Structure 1
Amino acid sequence: MALDDSELAAWHDFLQITATINRRIEQQLKQDAGLTHPQYEVLSRLSEAPDACLRMTELAQAAVTSKSGLTYQVTQLEKAGFVARRDSPGDDRGVVAYLTEKGWAKLKTAAPGHAELVRHLFREGLTDKEFDGFATAMAAMHRHLGS
């Protein structure tokens, strides 16, 4: 069964909006901080974790990426000195990534510009009522998809 006109229009708008937001965020982070969006997400998710440290599997889930994609990003961030890895305490097979002092500093300089752009792209242009409805819809979709 084909999408009706309303569903198709909403789907096309969603695709255009997400592509635009992703492109603009990628450009801003690269220009202002020398980071890719996935790298910023890794730093951000680590900063929110207890002791700024997460098992690689947990970090992959939090950063919404595959394990192999995360390994690549963490390797790049490790080369830059922003994160490091060590064995997980009490689990010889587990590996944790943690934010270094240099990583904290990078995140602190990158976060304000990133937050400003996200707010501009994601929040501005909507009334409070529209944004509340949008946020409610996103939470419902998140629950529906089980992500």
Structure 2
Amino acid sequence: MTDDGGLSPAELEAFFALEEVGSLLAHAVEQQLRSVGLTTVQFKILMSLFAAADGQLRMTDLADSLVVSRSGLTYQAGLLEKAGLIARAPSPDDDRSTTVSLTAGGRERIFAVLPGHMEVVRRLLLDPLSPEELGTLSGLLTRVRDHMRTDPPRSAAPRSRKK
């Protein structure tokens, strides 16, 4: 940090490198996913459900983990449901919540998409790094992510009311 509270040249360099890497990787991943008919958010929804212990999550928890708006998640979930990849139902624990479940079709779609997705991630992000560098990068990004997650998730923020 500089004396006036601004960012030092080293801090700016790190920030801009992270921004550029994130943008380049996000663009390549998005292109690969679009080639198989999914958006990035749809893929993240499917993968989150796939990783969930019972293959289902509450919509609010899903929005929090993906850092997307409730309305954006609802729209993308609607498209996935229409395609038969997920199912939505009232939560058995809370009448105000909706639970999203991965269908057999969703599971099949994940297995069809993953090889191409992993190839892009490996080629662009992982191949240039040694195992030691990968461990360092993972540790650093995990620490920063955990720090950023200390703020309440967007989906937990109060909704603005229209007058």
What is the TM-score when the length of structure 2 is the normalising length? 0.83
Match of 1:40 among 25, 40, 43: 43
Q: Tell whether 2:122 aligns with 1:122.
A: no
| Equivalent in the alignment of 2:70 | 67
Structure number with bigger Rg: 2
| Equivalent in the alignment of 1:30 | 34
Deviations 1:1-33 (A, max 9, x none): 2221111111111111111000000000111x2
Match of 2:136 among 127, 133, 143: 133
Letter in 1 for 2:82: K
| Equivalent in the alignment of 1:12 | 16
Judging by fraction of residues, say which structure has more strand.
1
Matches of 2:104 and 2:7, distance apart in 1: 50
Deviations 1:33-55 (A, max 9, x none): 21011100000001111321111
Letter in 2 for 1:108: F
Judging by fraction of residues, say which structure has more helix.
1
Per-residue deviation at 1:143?
2.4
Per-residue deviation at 1:113?
1.3
Aligned pairs, number: 146
Unaligned 5+ segments in structure 2 are 151-163
Match of 1:57 among 60, 63, 79: 60
| Equivalent in the alignment of 2:153 | none
Per-residue deviation at 1:134?
1.0
| Equivalent in the alignment of 1:95 | 98
Unaligned 5+ segments in structure 1 are none
Query: What do you get for the CA RMSD once the two structures are aligned?
Result: 1.4
Deviations 1:45-66 (A, max 9, x none): 0111132111111111232322
Aligned partner of residue 58 in structure 1, secondary structure: helix
Per-residue deviation at 1:76?
1.1
Deviations 1:53-89 (A, max 9, x none): 1111111123232222211110111111111111111
Matches of 2:60 and 2:97, distance apart in 1: 9
